[in-house]
Amino acid sequence: MSWIKDIFDPKARAWEEFYRNRNQCDKVVRSTHGVNCTGGCSWNVHVKDGIVAWELQATDYPPLEEGIPPYEPRGCQRGAAFSWYLYSPLRIKYPYLRGTLMDLWRQAKAVHADPVAAWASIVDNPQSRKSYQKARGKGGFRRSSWDEVEEIICASIIHTILKYGPDRLVGFSPIPAMSMLSFAGGSRFMQLLGGVNLSFYDWYCDLPNASPEIWGEQTDVAESADWYNSKYIAVMGSNVNMTRTPDAHFLVEARHNGSKVTVLSPDFSMTSKHADWWIPAHAGQDGAFWMAVNHVILKEFHHDAKTPYFLDYLKRYTDSPFLIQLEKKGAGYRPGRMLTAAVLADYQDEENAGFKYLVWDENDRAPRMPLGTLGFRWQEKKGEWNLQLKDGKTGQELAPALSLLDGQAEVLEVGFDDFASGHAQKRGVPVRYVETAAGRVPVATIFDLLMAQFGVGRGLPGDYPRDYDDEQSAYTPSWQEKFTGIDRANVIQFAREWAATAEKTQGKCSIIIGAGINHWYHANLIYRAGIVALMLCGCVGRNGGGLNHYVGQEKLAPVAPWATIAGALDWTRPPRFQNTPSFHYVHSDQWRYERTADEVRVNPVAEQTPLTSDHTIDHQIRAVRSGWLPFYPQFDRSPTQVVKQAEAAGAADNQGVINWTVKQLADKKMKFAVEDPDAPENWPRMWIIWRGNALMSSAKGHEYFLKHYLGTHHNSVAQETAEESV
């Protein structure tokens, strides 16, 4: 405080009152920070003269349970400094309009009394439209008023609905956990207008695709306090100390309590320094590391040792015992589809038999139909979609066989692809033969196929690796070295520690993973490689175990009522929701800059099908036409126009409109908009963005957004190649 000088009475030290007053406040209120970390930390906000003076972490969280550390301290330096952002001179406080558009609007209003007519005179005029579009991205904003900008927004919305249809209105906002009410307010507005809401989770690459692929759910993961229960924690693609700051103390406390923390990270991150073991695997190669770990676990803990806990877990909670049909391909066999109840005489009359799958029962030495598969979920009889090991028809107790490897099994050579080398190996797999409606077919368990895929020989013939040092054979510890840069001895040690810990603790091994992995090619397979290690060791569904994917902490407690409000489900359903990656891929014309099936050029396949040879835009169109993918705009005309045309043709009710529409599509008299996205009648016309920066911080292919959405100057240099592909 040397800059304060008391020139009247220096010895009185009255200047200290200035410092004391700085730390006085009028009141303290409880609040949090609605930012995209979604930590939801509780803060005591000290307010003075209506201004946030400073903030302190709250320390009165309720205890969880005996033996788990409390939530506090919960907060970070960014939260403590949030008031600086709140009063930043850079924060926008007033509405702004692009100067060119402001001039056009005020000129149009001078001519047209109706705001909708004024907007139409601007946007329907090619010259005026081009003038304000070309001005985009170059500054030139001028301060406006709320009345003016709201009038423009309303006029443009009404004009779009009248001329093009409501499904040409598109809304986008980031994760609702930042502010459920703000998200729902805009989302509900769009739905009541007949507009479309774009997704956010998949667009940001936050959604771990492996979770719905394996479990059918999004990210139902453990609360961070459960890290403390884990006895072996592997961290990959997540810098907990940086991005999970409020929860990082649980990781540190778990390690202090005896849990081993291993971090797979190419850099010595903030989290790496807290680890017991830092494994600097090459970026994006975590999958190779985990595949080699799985090789060791399968060999040592499932074949050599036959760990009882692991084997029982696989039978009860995974698809490992289910049967796969083997299909004859050339001189050998290939894995086909799962064996369904519909192909067996004993079960073919069961409801949804085509979606009920079979295991090999060790008691009857025959295929049997356990409860809990997909067909049981949707059948008329309820209460059988569960994991009880009982026959779905007779109620008989089942003993599923994980492996068919015994003295009576035959062995067939099955082909497995090694996509890293481009080669295929033929490996012996134990099989049984089953009489089906199509004849006698060989079947193998998923577990036996998994053993063969990972190269665990078990004395069977074929191209199995000779040992862990066979670097030419996929998934051995030595094989992964060229991808990860990690010595094989480290992989073997990790696998043994992981499995041994899981065996002794009944599955208390966990993976903390973040969106860092999601930004790599085939990220879902990297996730799945780690998930396999969790399942092989019985870790999923256990306190202290499982896959814990975090970006933010998206736990919306009142999600059911909130979804009703946000989706306007009290007025209409289903809501118009559109997955953002498909929307932007099509409408920003990025498909034009891709060739047909580049994946096939990297990994050619012998059997050419539309799935492997068509262009990605063809897959999009096929998905829309088949009803698999909601896509907007829907048709090559306004949906209100569709209804009027159907009624003019004699449709008297909703079903009549539907029937007429389906016939028009079948007769090719009406098309889906996705079939010709560059036709002006199929363009999305208005994009409302709130609580996010969709054109800068989250636009994948930013140059295409500038070129094809904004119509302004851009830096795109790519050549269109789609039409050159066949």
- Judge whether 56 and 49 are in contact, CB under 8 Å: no
Tokens 């579009």, residue located: 133
Q: Where are the domains of the chain?
A: 22-86, 96-163, 210-300+474-550, 322-400+406-453, 578-724
The structure tokens listed for 357 are 């799958």
How much is the pLDDT for 553? 55
Are 22-86 and 578-724 the same fold in CATH? no
Residue 151: C-alpha distances to residues 102, 111, 120, 144, 155 (Å): 12, 16, 13, 12, 6
Q: Give pLDDT < 70 ranges for the chain.
A: 1-7, 36, 407, 552-556, 597-612, 725-726
- Predicted local confidence at residue 598, as pLDDT: 59
Cβ atoms within 10 Å of 536's Cβ, excluding its own: 26
The predicted structure's pLDDT at residue 76: 87
Instruction: Provide φ and ψ at 607, rounded to 5°.
Output: -100, 105
Sign of CA dihedral 196, 201, 203, 208: negative
Residues ≥6 apart with Cβ < 8 Å to 491? 289, 292, 293, 296, 477, 480
- For tokens 């884990």, name the residue: 230
How many whole angstroms separate alpha carbon 240 and alpha carbon 243? 5
> Is-above-0.85 flag for pTM?
yes
**Cα–Cα distance, 172 to 191 (Å, whole number):** 12
Return the closest-CA partner of residue 105 out of 73, 128, 135, 82: 128
CA-derived radius of gyration, the chain: 31
| pLDDT one-digit tens code per residue, 471-496 | 999 999 999 999 999 999 999 999 99
Distance CA 134, CA 685 (A): 17
Residue whose structure tokens are 């891709």: 594
Predicted local confidence at residue 726, as pLDDT = 53
For 360-413, write each residue's pLDDT tens digit: 999 999 999 999 999 999 999 999 999 999 999 999 999 999 999 986 779 999
CA angle 566, 568, 573 (to 5 degrees): 120
Burial pattern 315-353, b for ≥16 Cβ within 10 A else e, equals beebbbbbbbbbeeeeeebebeebbbbbbbeebeebebb
> DSSP readout, 650-663?
T--SHHHHHHHHHH
Amino acid, single-letter form, for residue 595 = R
SS3 category, 563: helix
The pLDDT assigned to 2 comes to 59
Domain 578-724 maps to which CATH number in 3.40.50.12770, 2.60.40.10, 2.70.160.11, 1.10.260.30? 3.40.50.12770
d(CA 73, CA 249) in angstroms, rounded, equals: 8
Give the amino acid at 277.
W
Q: How many CB atoms lie within 10 A of CB 354?
A: 13
Render pLDDT for 100-116 as a digit per residue (tens, 0 to 9): 999 999 999 999 999 99
210-300+474-550: in CATH 3.40.228.10: yes
Distance CA 558, CA 684 (A): 32
Residue 450 phi, psi (nearest 5): -65, -45
Helix residue ranges per DSSP H, 422-479: 446-453
CATH of 22-86, one of 1.10.8.80, 3.10.20.30, 3.10.105.10, 2.20.25.90: 2.20.25.90
